[in-house]
Amino acid sequence: MTARAQALTLYESLLLIRRAEEKIQAHYAEDDMKTPVHLYIGQEAVAAGVVNGLDPADPIVGTYRSHGIYLARTDDPEGFFAELYGRVGGPAKGKAGSMHMARPQDGLFLTSAVVATTIPVALGLAFTQQYRKTGRSVAAFFGDGAMDEGVFWESLNFACLKRLPVLFVCEDNGLAIHTPSVARRGYKSVADAVGGFDCHFVESESTDPAEISDLTRDALARQREDGRPVFMRLRCYRYVEHVGPREDRDFHLGYRREEEFEYWRARDPVRCQRERLIKLGVPEAEVAALETKIDERLSRCVAEAQKAPFPEPEELHRDVLA
Ligand SMILES: Cc1ncc(C[n+]2csc(CCOP(=O)(O)OP(=O)(O)O)c2C)c(N)n1
Ligand SMILES: [Mg+2]
């Protein structure tokens, strides 16, 4: 793929995530989306970059803040909005909502509201890849808050011990709800703490999805060479409140400072990628046409979801494993 085509693909991926979430912000107050929403606005380069760097067949697990990986992996905003509106066309037939978006046929196996719980599941998926010699690696996305859970460290330990093909992707926005990481960590640095384990360690605060994609690809190549798992600490910043659609920033709560937001917003992934396209010589009209295409597609997704049927009452007990 040429640099130009790659830049366009990544811009489309970033913009689909950003604009889909802006649609949520625009419609949430109508109270038809019966689901909590943990928006990803500001962090898009992580999902777009890592998913681009993975092989499309590499399995993925994520958290309740997984709109980005869902859209980047599936390119299915139709199902995405159906799920948010609780309609049958959603990947879980409208029974999961925002926090449990998954589409196993695209390799997105599981996301969950319970912090860190999908990480050991990623190890199970990775063991399957190792046992069946598929050559695939499993990406486990989680927030920095998941590193406060014992199961994270057990999983890292076991993956290193057994050389499981896992890519630990820590989406480090420095916050767990309203608690900054400095108030939660008893270790000096993530690099030191994770550096003691027998894995590859990658750290970045890039908001350039191409750079993150390259880091992912390189790390996977090293992992496939010697079998050691990879830990990627990808710094990022969430622009809006922890949960909910409100556009106004929550600096008045006092748990984070506006200067941090300004620092990150100066490197906003979507705006910077647009600037890169123009520098690469993509005509303004071509970029604008792409933006219109995405906006129109998303408007259709919302309109279709709003009038789609709800699941039948019998569905309540279907797909339930307990
Ligand atoms: C096991 C568990 N403990 C506590 C919570 C409550 N909780 C919800 S979100 C959250 C913070 C997680 O922060 P992080 O993992 O950094 O993800 P982010 O919201 O920053 O993406 C917590 C503690 C939970 N959902 N699950
Ligand atoms: Mg966090």
Tell me the pLDDT tens digit for each residue of 195-209: 999 999 999 999 999
Q: Report CA(105)–ligand 1 centroid distance (Å).
A: 27
Q: Which residues contact 267 (CB under 8 A, 6 or more apart)?
A: 207
pLDDT in tens, 62-104: 999 999 999 999 999 999 999 999 999 999 999 999 999 999 9
Ion ligand 2: residues, CB < 5 A: 143-145, 173, 175
Please report, to the nearest 10 degrees, the dihedral formed by the alpha carbons of residues 237, 31, 321, 311 taken in order. Answer: -130
End-to-end CA distance of the chain, in Å?
A: 46
Model confidence at 321: pLDDT above 90: no
Q: Report CA(142)–ligand 2 centroid distance (Å).
A: 8
pLDDT at 248: 78
Q: Which amino acid is at 173?
A: N
Q: Report CA(6)–ligand 2 centroid distance (Å).
A: 29
Task: Please tell me the distance from the alpha carbon of residue 62 to that of residue 44, in angstroms, as a whole number.
Answer: 14
> For 133-208, where are the alpha helices, taking DSSP H only?
150-161, 190-195
- Asked whether the CA dihedral 260, 262, 267, 268 is positive or negative, the reply is positive
Ligand nearest to the CA of 42: 1
Instruction: Tell me which residue has its CA closest to atom 25 in ligand 1.
Output: 114
Instruction: Give the chain's mean pLDDT.
Output: 97
Q: Report CA(8)–ligand 1 centroid distance (Å).
A: 33
Task: Please tell me the distance from the alpha carbon of residue 297 to that of residue 311, in angstroms, as a whole number.
Answer: 24
3-305: CATH number? 3.40.50.970
Q: Report CA(38)–ligand 1 centroid distance (Å).
A: 11
What residue spans define the domains of the chain? Answer: 3-305
pLDDT at 239: 96
Q: Is 252 exposed, middle or buried (0-12, 13-18, 19+ CB in 10 A)?
A: exposed
pLDDT in tens, 33-51: 999 999 999 999 999 999 9
pLDDT at 74: 98
Report if pTM > 0.85. Answer: yes
Residue to substitute in 149, 172, 177 for testing ligand 1 pocket (most ligand atoms within 8 angstroms of CB): 177
Task: Please tell me the distance from the alpha carbon of residue 92 to that of residue 76, in angstroms, as a whole number.
Answer: 13
Ligand nearest to the CA of 119: 1
Q: Assign 174 a pLDDT band (cuts: 50, 70, 90).
A: very high
The DSSP H or E segment spanning 87 is: none
List, chain by chain if needed, residues with CB within 6 Å of any ligand 1 atom. 65, 113-115, 143-146, 173, 175-177, 242
